[in-house]
Structure 1
Amino acid sequence: MCRNAERLPPGAAVFAEPPAPIKPDTPRARPRLWTLDPQHHCPIIGTCLPLADLQRIARRCHFAARPDDDFALHVEAVSHARSRNPASEAIQRHLDARYRLAVARFARFKTDAELRDEWLACVARGEVAGPLWALCTHRMASAETLQAAYQRVHMLSHQVGAGLAADTRRLAQLEKENTELRTGLKRELTALRRQLAAAESALGERDAARTEAAELKKRLQRFESGQVMVDLGRRLMSLQGAAEDLASATRRIYTLESTLKDAHQESIRLAAERDAALSERNALEAILQASLPATDDADTEALCTRAGSDDCAGCPQATSERCILYVGGRAALIAQYRQLAGRLGIKLIHHDGGLEESLSRLPDLINGADAVLCPTDHISHNAYYHVKSHCKRIGRPCLFYKGAGVSGFAAAVARVNRGEYSVAGQDEA
């Protein structure tokens, strides 16, 4: 029947195709969906397989029909049911699982007459889907019984279709009446609620007025007896004491906060001084260790005794810059600067930062040095900006640091040795 379903006009009966000839023999094994007479595929799928289940099977088996086209899904499912394939096997498994109780109940009957009687009883009770599947897949069902079931389902479909329009109209009328009744009931309930709220409000206001009057009477009695003034005086004294305690605590808190802030700033300053002192101490120790001869290596001892020579370039304690320009600083410590530099094999050039020497010599001195050291606390502003701008222009490493003492100089040399510069060509923003 469903082979020509696509050519049917809209609204045509689903079971309009004439039934196929009745097969005389009955299989012994329980029939499967694809072994049934093709005329039964349409009523079985249309009656026994709910639309939602059919849509899930269609998605799983990749039907060609659109998921929202129910008729096309039905036609394609009927087409798949004619042969054994993944779709027909999925429908077979689903119907067996869904109607397993009906299949088990029909399996108890051994004759065609018992099957026919049970089918008619189920139809009389309004049970169609499960009994239809159990009957069509029962091995003892005869072709005549299957044909009678087909005819009954066929006529039921027409009757359901004819009664559906009348039921729909009646349902619409009932829904309209129900909506009107519900609207009227809501209006009545709203009016009753307003009346009840007004009554409760009036009753509550009356009770509240009585309670307020009694409370005012008690307060008036307390005022007349003078008890209120005594209580207010006691409360005022208590509040004054609490206010004094709070003010004293506030002053202590302010004092402690100020002390804590000063202590925190002092701790930061001391920590910075400690770190600077440790750095300078480590630098001085490194320089002293570099100047000590190695007792277990005669060649190393001879090498370190020639501090300031070209051989110091191989010492692991010596800096990679062989010539350093020192601008500014304390003039009285220049000899000690040179002595420390010499222990590391460094040639130290000094410029006083414009005190007695001309600043015009700085570019030539910077060009001839491998690195420049400037103590910011002992250098003029003009010398500082001359050194910084020229080092940027030619890409010369330059270290600006605080502390013009010997230990500060030692720490600065150690930083230069580690590659820590303040200005290095155009790298500084």
Structure 2
Amino acid sequence: MCDHGDERPFLSKHTKESHNLNKISATGSRRRRIWDLPHECHCPVVGVCIPLTNLRRLINKALNGQNLADDYEIHVGAVAECGRRNKVSELIQQELDQRYNRTIQQFRLAKTQDAVVRLWIDAIHIGDVAGAFWAALTHPRCDTTLQEGLCRDMHMLQHQAGASVRADLSRFNALIEENALLTRELGRVQERSTRLMTEKSNEIERLNTQLTQIRAELIGKDSSIAFLSADITALKTSIPDLDTRKRLLYKLDQMTERQTELETSLREAQVQLAEFTKSKDSEHKNTELLEPVIQVIPITLYLQQKNVLCVGGRSGNVSNYRDLIERVGGRFAHHDGGVEDNQNLLDANLAAADLVICQTGCISHNAYWRVKDFCKRTGKRCVFVENPSTTSLARGLEQFSDINDMNVEFHRLSLD
């Protein structure tokens, strides 16, 4: 504790006259004031319970001016003035009661000395001893023994606080050095981060430029596609019956392919016939009487390069019609007379045909009159067949005057 003796400090000439008050016994109900406490309690109360800035403010207020004394002189003078009731001690009393009012109210509930001790021990464990020290010292149940114990505890707590401050100061200095090191490291990291951000920004700008160029190229391609689509649409519009022509070309390709296949089959058949004839000749080489070999004239000679159009007929006989026409060297084309095929194709088929066979029994009226009118106008040879059979078709072909030599062959084919 501070040993200030009985010497009055320089502040005593500015204080009021002290009032003599009787001490309150430990059995009363009135809280003691700071001037009621013994001198050895004033030093810890002023030093622990009032911060130096607040204490200097109170002294300046009591002196009505600016005090130029240092902190130690302020502390010593305030401790000396607390021994009697005066303006300084009253201001200190008021400051302590206002600052620790809540703690004082908590201690007021303690009705026994043991309860005061428990509250004080709890405050030590919590670490908030300033308010508890003031409330316990001024409590009505605080006697000389409890007062001495409180002062001893506070004395040791001050020593521990000093040691803690020194340890904290060492840790603080270490933290300052560590903070300086981390600050330098942070500066390097920030510099590296700034450099990376600059590089990334440049890269992003370059990629954005490329993206803009690609988008421009894409827009140009889309525009070109749109223009080309418009041109295609205009061309389709300018060419009438484009779909019809496409279908005709497709059928023409099919017919050409079929003709090629038939010609290939014919050549193979002729080769086989020649081989067969040669083998027969070798077998009868030594025989004087040779059986006459009937050689069938190649059927491709009869309708060579002739396009025969069959209009109408039964769909199941179309393959027989085709086989009959192609076996005599013709090119077969068929139109169902408007049942499934488009009637707009009929005129084109009629124009491409050399010979027309009209199946009157299986044809629509419209197609019948169109065939008849077309052949009449163009002078194209047309045969009207009532029965949609293969035999009737063969007989109809016999009516052409330019193929009279085909009679025997067609009779044989119809019998087959």
* Larger radius of gyration between Structure 1 and Structure 2: 2
> Shorter-normalised TM-score: what interval?
0.3 to 0.5
TM-score by length of 2: 0.45
TM-score by length of 1: 0.44
